[in-house]
Amino acid sequence: MTLEPVPDEPAAVATLDEGRALVIADYHAGYEAGLRYERGVEIPSRADERRERLLSLLERTRVDRLVVLGDLMHSIGEPGGAERGELEVLFESLPPALSVTLVKGNHDGAIETWLEGVEIVPGSGVALDGLGVCHGHTWPAREVLEADVVCLGHEHPFVRLEDEVGGSHVEPVWVRGRLDPEPFAERTSDEGLPWLEDGAPPRLVVVPAFNDLVGGTWVNVPGQEFLAPFLPEGLAEGEAYLLDGTRLGPYRSI
């Protein structure tokens, strides 16, 4: 199993035994409607832009499968008209032969009751050959922790970069490292995992959000709280990478 980021995109291609999969996280369909309802902020919908961006990626990568690491939709409860309409148009536009797996995120509500033609798995995740996928809002399932690579979303990782004159801006990043055994040993002591005592723990990849409007965790800013219950304690030697592949080094010291 290999996992390769798509240059300049918050997406990666996994090569599995049964084909290739495009992996994305945090699509947050209907986010603009949510801003209007939750904060009174009016911005034009980017639903068409999101859809075309994803369709272009699918065409470019020629994958057999789409894996969404949770939060396909934004509203936690029943989706409104704009949000549901965005997803219906999106799925009507997907290639007919494409299979879709959704790891259910904390924003996905009862999506399984109305979204058809999609494999929906719990947020704690599943293993796809050697790739463990989960959303990140809860502890990963055992089979995820037994995979070679663990991918999660939910965190929306960013770094804050400062220039020479004191200005700053934020950039989405990938965060990559290995799972630190200690937090997981406390939760799996009755079951055990091979890498808790010997061998290398799985590699961990925190995937940036596909929706570029959503906020996230500024991983290099002291005092920022992570969203996943096992981060940052569960990440050893984590490094940050920009979407263009630039290695920034250990995320804590950027």
Domain annotation for the chain: domains and CATH numbers? 2-253 (3.60.21)
φ, ψ dihedrals at 238, nearest 5°: -75, 135
Q: What is the pLDDT of residue 103?
A: 98
- Say if CB 1 and CB 203 are below 8 A apart: no
> Tokens 């949770």 belong to which residue?
70
Rg (CA), the chain: 18
φ, ψ dihedrals at 128, nearest 5°: -110, 95
> Tokens 């799925």 belong to which residue?
91
Q: Which of 101, 138, 136, 107 is nearest to 121 (CA)?
A: 101
Burial of 218 (0-12, 13-18, 19+ CB in 10 A): middle
Mapping DSSP to helix (H, G, I), strand (E, B) and coil, where does residue 41 land? coil
Across all residues in the chain, what is the average pLDDT?
89
Q: What is the DSSP string of 117-132?
A: S-EEE-TT-EEETTEE
Q: What is the pLDDT along the chain (254 residues), one digit of tens a residue?
A: 899 999 999 999 999 998 999 999 999 998 887 666 666 677 788 999 999 999 999 999 999 999 999 999 987 666 667 778 899 999 999 999 999 999 999 989 888 888 888 999 999 999 999 999 999 999 999 899 999 999 999 999 999 998 777 678 899 999 999 998 888 877 765 566 767 666 688 999 999 999 999 989 999 998 889 999 999 999 988 999 999 999 999 998 88
Alpha carbon distance 194, 87 (integer Å): 40
Residue 86's alpha-carbon distances to 55, 128, 242, in angstroms, are 14, 28, 29
Q: What is the pLDDT of residue 45?
A: 85
Question: Left if phi > 0, otherwise alpha if psi is -120 to 50, otherwise beta: which for 249?
Answer: left
Q: What is the pLDDT of residue 82?
A: 74
Q: What is the pLDDT of residue 37?
A: 63
Q: Which of 88, 84, 238 is nearest to 150 (CA)?
A: 238
Q: What is the pLDDT of residue 60?
A: 96
Residue type, 98: L
Burial of 98 (0-12, 13-18, 19+ CB in 10 A): middle
